[in-house]
Amino acid sequence: TAEIRLERVPVLPAAQAVAAREAPGREVSLAIDEAMAVRAQPELLSRALANVVRNAARYAGDAGPIAVTAKADGARVVIRVADRGPGVPAETVGRLFEPFYRTEPDRARRTGGSGLGLAIVKTCVEACGGSVSARNLVPAGFEVILTFDAA
């Protein structure tokens, strides 16, 4: 595998491009300071965000908007992608980043999901030295949290 070169990547333009491409016609709110940047490989950041936003658009249905935020947390930047959909069964949250894991066995037939999206997200984020987690929101919704080094 080629060595991954991390560079300064502004978060807002990356998030804007992903939202336009992965959730066309959907309401996506971006709360990201223009100066916010992370240390990442641009293509890996884009791929990770794309998978998360695509999932939010697919599974939240019309329970709108998808919210993408980025906040500094010391030497890190925390990017959150939240939707207002039904979330996932609580007992499955810890397995969502496993390859081919799906919360429902029939989900692939209905939605085309292979169970690889969040595994790809994890691989991309960790290759950039970051971490990823997810949680259900109360009363409804789902959030994926991507953490990178600040640039």
Predicted confidence (pLDDT) per residue in 34-74, tens digit = 999 999 999 999 999 999 999 999 888 787 799 999 999 99
3-state SS class at 145? strand
Question: Would you state the pLDDT for residue 109?
Answer: 45
**Buried b vs exposed e over 57-70: b needs ≥16 C-beta within 10 Å?**
bbbbeeebbbbbbb
Predicted confidence (pLDDT) per residue in 93-137, tens digit = 989 999 888 776 544 444 556 677 899 999 999 999 999 999 999
pTM over 0.85: yes
Smallest CA-to-CA distance from 135 within 77, 79, 94, 103 is with: 94
Q: Are strands 37-40 and 76-83 parallel, antiparallel or unpaired?
A: unpaired
How far is it, in rounded angstroms, from Cα 117 to Cα 107? 13
